[in-house]
A and B are shown apart, each in its own frame.
Chain A
Amino acid sequence: MAMAQDSKLKRAAHWADVRGRGLGMWAYVLNRVTGIGLVVYLYIHLVVLSMLTGGPAAWDPFIKVVRSPLFLGLDVVLISGWLIHGLNGLRVTLTGVGLGVRAQKAMFVGFMALAAIGIVAMALLVFRS
């Protein structure tokens, strides 16, 4: 019998489809988005560090640029990614070994509240420094 399958791309789109879904699905999507963001950042970071090989002439002008408000804002985005991914990852680890499974939604809300407090605190530190 001839049968149809969704394309891989269409199926992959289901990873981000949160319509009508539960809180766990939002946590799943947040972890993917922040995870991909952190991997991209890691590569950018390595490329940027390679500028050190050019000596002060290459590095000092770059440092001036990253002290601009735009880059400081990007720092806050990066810290947000760390906090959300790390704390959500802790929830996944705990439930993954059978701890707090029934409280996973409350755990997600609690950890994200912690992340929000951390983001605000870090944003204040970044922009005041």
Chain B
Amino acid sequence: MKLLIIEDEKKLSESIVAYLKSENYVCEIAADFKSAINKTESFDYDCILLDISLPDGNGLNVLKELKRNKKTDGVIIISAKNSIDDKIEGLNLGADDYLPKPFHLSELSARIAAIIRRRNFNGNKLVVFEEITIDTMSKMASVGNAGLDLTRTEYDLLLYLVTNKSKVVSKNAIAEHISVNEAEAFDSYDFIYAHLKNLRRKLLLAGCADYIKNVYGIGYKFSI
């Protein structure tokens, strides 16, 4: 899988690369508008992370160029502005997602995985981890042949942890990911704990090994 990170802030692009490289992604970086245009014209990427405020041009123009050249690369806009207008314009121009800064790397990883799955037209939409299979089309999960009866939140949680497998996912990142309401994601982490407890119980009941590990109160890790 090939990714292009268009971001002028070197420290940000470095961390993104550091986080994603273990996921078997090949990451390239474009630090300005010109090199971004050059790279997108010469190569195809599975997913492009696009910062729209670049020193020498508006990132939205990269999108326009892609569209003009009939390229179908997946695009996630990452913006420090979190402006609704930018979001709407970006999505209208064909971006697949919009992620306001600052975001969690685990969230970014999950979004990239989702876009790659979606764009994988002929391939399967299944996410597999050992005996666990998640069908992202029907939003169902199963252990071996036994289907799991998960709530919407538990399903989201499972998919989130599995796409960030072998990584410590912070409580904050989980809280933000599964909260529908932003104000709700704030007060306590007890609700994460409760959801995770239920998910773990259901997995264990279905005969699954215990993959959910609490990492010293920082967060959780889904690993063998």
Q: Do A and B bind each other?
A: no
- Listed in ascending order, the chain A residues whose CB lies under 8 Å from chain B are none
